[in-house]
Amino acid sequence: MMSSQQFFGALFLIAGSFVVLYGVRLFVETRAFFSRAGRSMGTVVRRVLRRPASWQPALYHPVVSFQTQDGEQVLLEVADPMVDTRCRVGTTFQVAYDGKDPKQVKVGMRQWYDVAMVFYLGLLVSAAGIVLTFQHLH
């Protein structure tokens, strides 16, 4: 009979494995995006304040202007929020854009952040599952 500790350990191990697999998928998609992406320097021309709740810190969505390699001028609001100091008007940063659809962008340092955090979470949950499952074997 399986103890509750072993049950939850197995559950965590399975869940962590699925999260790691999702991280692999994100890695493959992100790598594919960057293999076909064009790069340009973007400039923040304005920013949109979004505050989901009054107790949460203010986050801004920068509106960025950049020019593609084909000379097309693109103006868009970045979906990823940023803190005040990273997206003040006039701030410039690297923009990676999809060559087929320049409105699909990744900016700044967040280009690989999601991939890294998903892997990290998956590894932590899997490790917890391993510990819970095999703890009784000492």
Select from 93, 87, 92, 98 the least CA-distant residue to 61.
87
Our CA dihedral for 31, 120, 22, 129, rounded to 10 degrees, sits at 160
Give the pTM: 0.72
The pairing of strands 92-98 and 73-77 is: unpaired
- Note the pLDDT of residue 117: 94
Query: What percentage of residues in the chain have a pLDDT greater than 70?
Result: 95
- Residue 70 has phi, psi (to 5 degrees) of -85, 0
- Note the pLDDT of residue 86: 77
Q: Classify residue 13 by burial, with Cβ atoms within 10 Å: 0-12, 13-18, 19+.
A: buried
Structure tokens at 127: 């490790």
- Note the pLDDT of residue 44: 94
Q: At what angle do helices 113-134 and 4-36 cross, to 10 degrees?
A: 160
Into how many domains does the chain fold? 1
pLDDT less than 50: residues of the chain? none
- Note the pLDDT of residue 5: 84
> Where in the sequence is the domain holding 76, given as residue range(s)?
4-137
Question: Per-residue pLDDT tens for 110-130?
Answer: 678 889 999 999 999 999 999
